[in-house]
Structure 1
Amino acid sequence: MNSEHTSVEMKDQGEINHGYIPTETNAKEQNHDLKKSNGDGNKFQIEPMDNEEEENYTGCPGVAYKIQTGVAIAVGKHGSRIKQAVKLLFLVLYFVYFGYAMYYEFGDEGSIRLLVCTIIGVVLLLIHIFNRLCGSKIKLFDSGEKSFATERRHRKMKRYTGRFLMVAVFLGLAAYIIYDVLIDYPQNAVSIAGLALYIIIFYIFSKNPAKVKWRPVFWGFALQYIFALVILRTEWGYQAFQWLGDRVTEFLNYSNAGAVFVFGDVLVNTYGVFAFRVLPVVVFFYTVTSVLYYLGVMQVIVKKMGMFLSFCLGTSPAESLNAAGNIFVGMTEAPLMIQPFLENMTKSELHAVMTGGFATIAGSVLGAYVNFGVPANHLITASVMSAPAALAISKLAYPETERTKSEDMDRMGKSKDRNVIEAISSGAGNSVKVVAAIAVNVMAFLCVLEFVNMTLDWFGDRVGVDGLSFQLICSYVFYPIAFFMGTDVPDCRKVAELVGIKTFTNEFLAYKELSILIANRKNFTQYTAVWNASSDWFYQGDDIILQHVNQTLKKGIISDKSEVIATYALCGFSNFGSMGIFLGGMSALVPSRRGDLSQIVLRAMIAGNVACFLTGCIAGLLYKDYGT
């Protein structure tokens, strides 16, 4: 009786003072309604108050609470429209700025850069708007029920159309090679023999030669050739990538600001110490990539390129996305974008993923190689060309024999960062392991290489052979590879030496050696422009002695063509050291496939190496003298 009387009094008091009883159920319902109204329980969420809290909210706090609640409900109902209005406002402001900038000054490099970036941005924006508006409404083909005869006729038409396009493209490319390449540079035909040789060898030693599907193989090599054709054989294409390479170099130089602040100007700019000059570039690029990944820019670019590769080569979306991702990020980072697909991938798809990782380099280390003096435009070109080449050689070495599952490209991995600041911080933090890995690997391999060379030299002395070294052995073992890529014959041993260093140690040391040869040729060109008589300089073994400046060019020089071929051939992570790194990273992403990954990692590494050699063959075939 007392309890009933008490409950009635509490009810009456609640109705008089507040109009409702603040029970736990009401609090949950109100909280649910607020979440439902704005679509996100973490934003603009107002926690309901109990009696004691609400009694304290009188005067200004009460007014503030009502305003806060009203704003939360308004934003919840109209949040999407507010976001669109803000985005539209910023877009209008940008175009106002862009129009005035074009009016104020047009014609210099900066205005052209602004114009190109704006055009690219507008195209991407239009594509995004088109996809949002159309969604799944636009269908290229009727998805309704078809009779067996109609379906069979469509498959037959598709098959013959594909064969016709392959023949047409092959004849067109062959005619161009004969007319524009072989007539002017008949020596470049050696690279054709190299392409044919690699294809024949990999077909013979394929996992299942009878199951090889030639569509991805043909279109992979065709795309590789077309990319190279635009970049290496057209002046506008070469100039465009030269401009892009200069901008990348300019962008990466901003890393000096942080390096100078931490280490000082003397160590960074005056002496150019490796650890203080090169490694900060890796930190900077890793951080920028993390921000682009958080903003979704990286996913959009990779998705579009992956869709293009999948359409042309007929490869699955997942392996195509990974190949596109390898153009920008490293072999252990790219699979993160396709992590939802890894569990159900076939062995052929996993082989393609690993081959793509071995056949390319990460954008972060690209900056380090640029600091060595390796041309940025050729490094960028090599990364782009290696993506289709990796898929082609992978499908030749390990053809698809299983039924692949259809995948949705929208299931790409997303950034776990909550804002730009966290993306910058996590990118910088994640770069620590990469910087440490580069530093310790370079030290370790240089130490081991020096030990091996001293040991070989000791054994050589016992039998009267002077100068026996690991590099000397590689210069003979890999001589055929350098020759069939189209390297000038006098330079074949030096390029073969670089290939051996890259395969058995890492590409970092190989590019460091290549940078010495590049610097030597620049110094030699400057010297011979003043002193070019036979007595002004001479060879001493492989070294060149410049008498008037008392300078020795260690290991001599190689031609510009050989430099270009070596740059392309070395552009990949395919070496024995990377096998352990890649296998460990992939096993962590998909532990259930560890056994399958262990079985195919060696074959994938060899295929990745050959993809780099094929890129070198294309560079040797299409090499031209201008602009170099």
Structure 2
Amino acid sequence: MTPLQLQSGAGLLALCLLAWALGGFRRVSWRIVVAGLGLQLLIAVLLLNVPPLRAGFALFGDGVNALAAATRQGTSLVFGYLGGAPLPFDEKTPGSSFILFFQALPLVLVVGALSALLYHWRVLPFVVHALSRLLRRAFGIDGATGFATAANVFVGMVEAPLLVRHWIASLSRSGLFVVMTAGLATISGNMLVVYALFIAPVVPDAAGQLLTASLISAPAAVLVALLMIPPEAEAVAPEREPETPRIYDSAMEAVVRGTMDGLQLLLGIMAMLIVFVALVALVNMALEPLTGVTLQRLAAFLFWPLAHAMGVPAEHAMTVANSLGVKVVVNEFVSFLELGMSGGLGLDPRSRLILTYALCGFTNFGSVGIMLGGMVAMCPERRADIVRLGLPALVSGTIACCMTGAVVGLLTAP
């Protein structure tokens, strides 16, 4: 094992200690720590080192490429050369014809429809139930918490709690915090496909890597959340796993409603990108003349120790920290876009892979606002708890994502 891999291993333990310290060093069962670290390593070893599973992820990547090509057929018809059809003029600057909204983001519509169809056909519920059972047996968490955590691997931070909305009011404070942390530490299937498209030129098997990262982050999120807010012995929680509700009456309804849900997400992404990039630019306009640094640069200094803990070499630690800072201050969308369009930010392949895994989560201020709004609307009687746990969930989700980066760093030789 190389020194950098040992650095990742030590960093993984240090991240656990950080989460425990932020929770006030309260008593935590060793079962939680062993289960959390063991599950992360087991999932990573199986998905990264077992050839048949790696081959399956390669096929998943081919499927993402097929979805992108099929979507381009539709955008070319609707938007012409703006959507990827042949240009009617000579391109002056290579790559300048790429328009994010018309060529990459419409993939959200196709994936939204396909996800709804897979849900209607009970494919996604089957996978979610299997992962939920694994989490409940490993950590001893209740059925609703395990189910929502497992669902977060495939759907967004609002859609997953929606599946257990009837149980949210009865969740313990610890269970509620687990659900919120998992929502921020993972990404939805819609965005996974888009991000894989962005980073495919610089990260091999990009789609499979992102799915692996999201799967590893599920037990990481449970571990970090329970270290920060341990379960209370007297808490009463529902043990029975919730049934997955029937949402669509037919496959055609699933396609139509999935497309409309995807349209709302598409417009939301567009609006959030415009607003948050503009707000950060305004802050930088005021901050940089006074201090000489930007908001992202300040965040990078805070994230440097986390980049080091993940096992990133010293010469690349600040670059990785800066990308993590952009993720939290703006969002992960911009970080993934920069990673793909810059040729990998000048990072070596191992550091690039660690960064990819650490970026795979909705840990940013905008996502916290979206999650709080959605969960308060679902369960207004828990409003105080939900709002109070918002920023701690951002911290715990960030630690969980970095823990996932440390796991892949531990298992990847330079």
Q: Would you call these one fold, judging by a TM-score over 0.5? A: yes
Give unpaired runs (5+ residues) of structure 2.
87-96, 201-205
Corresponding residue for residue 382 of structure 1: 213
Segments ≥4 residues shifted beyond 6 Å: none
Corresponding residue for residue 33 of structure 2: 217
Report if the CA contact (8 A) 1:216-1:315 is conserved: no
* Alignment partners' CA distance in 2, 1:208 and 1:350: 20
Deviations 1:579-619 (A, max 9, x none): 11001111111111111111212111211110000000011
Report if the CA contact (8 A) 1:218-1:392 is conserved: no
* Alignment partners' CA distance in 1, 2:388 and 2:252: 41
Corresponding residue for residue 103 of structure 1: none
* Alignment partners' CA distance in 2, 1:504 and 1:497: 10
Deviations 1:509-563 (A, max 9, x none): 111111133x2x5xxxxxxxxxxxxxxxxxxxxxxxxxxxxxxxxxx61111111
Q: Does 2:357 correspond to 1:568?
A: yes
1:472 maps to which of 273, 276, 297: 297
Q: Does 2:5 correspond to 1:188?
A: yes
* Alignment partners' CA distance in 2, 1:333 and 1:252: 24
How big is the alpha-carbon RMSD for the aligned residues of Structure 1 and Structure 2? 1.9
State how 1:172-571 maps to structure 2 within 5 Å: 182=1, 185-206=2-23, 209-210=26-27, 212-269=28-85, 271-374=97-200, 375-401=206-232, 402-415=234-247, 417-460=248-291, 468-517=293-342, 519=343, 557-571=346-360
SS at match of 2:360: coil
* Alignment partners' CA distance in 1, 2:60 and 2:413: 19
* Alignment partners' CA distance in 2, 1:476 and 1:355: 24
* Alignment partners' CA distance in 2, 1:289 and 1:406: 28
SS at match of 2:115: helix
Which protein shows a greater Rg? 1
Report if the CA contact (8 A) 1:252-1:285 is conserved: no
TM superposition shift of 1:234: 4.3
Deviations 1:104-156 (A, max 9, x none): xxxxxxxxxxxxxxxxxxxxxxxxxxxxxxxxxxxxxxxxxxxxxxxxxxxxx
* Alignment partners' CA distance in 1, 2:279 and 2:315: 29
State the TM-score, normalized to the length of structure 2.
0.91
* Alignment partners' CA distance in 2, 1:263 and 1:412: 38
Q: Whose relative contact order is higher, 1 or 2, with alpha carbons under 8 Å and at least 6 apart?
A: 2
SS at match of 1:279: coil
* Alignment partners' CA distance in 2, 1:377 and 1:294: 24
Q: How many residues align?
A: 398
SS at match of 2:44: helix
Deviations 1:305-355 (A, max 9, x none): 111221222211111111111111111111122122112111111111101
Give unpaired runs (5+ residues) of structure 1.
1-181, 522-555
Report if the CA contact (8 A) 1:219-1:313 is conserved: yes
* Alignment partners' CA distance in 2, 1:358 and 1:448: 22
TM superposition shift of 1:269: 4.8
2:383 maps to which of 594, 609, 615: 594
Report if the CA contact (8 A) 1:360-1:573 is conserved: yes
Report if the CA contact (8 A) 1:213-1:395 is conserved: no
Residues 296/192 of structure 1: CA separation in 2 closer, same or farther (3 Å cut): same
Corresponding residue for residue 9 of structure 1: none
* Alignment partners' CA distance in 2, 1:282 and 1:406: 34
Corresponding residue for residue 610 of structure 1: 399
1:583 maps to which of 363, 366, 372: 372
Percent of counterpart pairs with the same letter? 32
* Alignment partners' CA distance in 1, 2:265 and 2:82: 25
TM superposition shift of 1:413: 2.9
State the TM-score, normalized to the length of structure 1.
0.61
